[in-house]
Amino acid sequence: MNRATVLVMLLATAACAAGQESPVASAAPTEPPASTPPSTPTPTPAVSETPTGPPEFTAEVSRLKREQVPYSWRPGCPVPLGDLRLITMTYWGFDDRAHTGELVVRETVTDDVVAVFKKLYGWRWPVRKMELVDAYKADDYDSIDADNTSAFNCRRATGSSNWSKHAYGEAIDINPRENPYVRADGGTAHQNAKRFTRRPLEGKGVVNPADKVVKAFQNLGWEWGGDWSGTKDYQHFSKGGG
Ligand SMILES: [Zn+2]
């Protein structure tokens, strides 16, 4: 073997090695073009939308301090302060944005309430406002007039000397303007609720017979005031009725 022969063989080996590599190298670019174009349009927008979407539902349950309910609770109420809980949770507003609201309920129904409001938020079912009735000095009329969703209030039932289910923290009034308390004669005490006295009724935050909001509560043993005969309380949901 002379030098020239060795050189030819080395070159041939190099060419051969290069030739072996090239199919591997060219195989890589041929694969992505086959799969990339059809898969690109769908996943990309979904991934990029997630960070800009509404926040996840959250709910925090905490004990109440006396100063948080200066008007709605007092000694002599049927439920001791220690049995009430403050729920701070996400709700979907009439402005199509997420908000944080507060509700006071009895400790025994916190799981029910959080479960239902988690559903409402998931459905983007709108709630006007959710603040403690103490923001209205526990005046039920003023809270309703402000279309405020609330629960606990140590008061008597409307037109009765008995404690309301709200005094036990086992009742919630939702969007009271859109879902008024309607007397048997069809009237309501709230001027701003007059166009919401009939059912079924199309509208934002309106509760209708047998709709998903009613069913969500019913599945957990809550009754709807819209199912009462005579007087209708469309805003009112209570554990076990009443
Ligand atoms: Zn009520």
CA 127 to ligand 1 centroid distance, Å: 15
CA 200 to ligand 1 centroid distance, Å: 20
| pLDDT, position 51 | 72
Per the prediction, the chain carries an average pLDDT of 86
Q: Where are the domains of the chain?
A: 57-239
Pairing of strands 171-173, 84-92: unpaired
Helix (H, G, I), strand (E, B) or coil at 181: strand
CA 60 to ligand 1 centroid distance, Å: 23
CA 168 to ligand 1 centroid distance, Å: 11
What pTM did the predictor assign?
A: 0.79
Q: What is the pLDDT of residues 52-106, one digit of tens each?
A: 799 999 999 999 999 999 999 999 999 999 999 999 999 999 999 999 999 999 9
CA 103 to ligand 1 centroid distance, Å: 13
Residues of the chain whose pLDDT is less than 50?
1-2, 4-50
CB contact at 8 A, 132 and 211: no
User: 238: buried, middle or exposed (CB in 10 Å: 19+, 13-18, 0-12)?
Assistant: buried
CA 172 to ligand 1 centroid distance, Å: 6
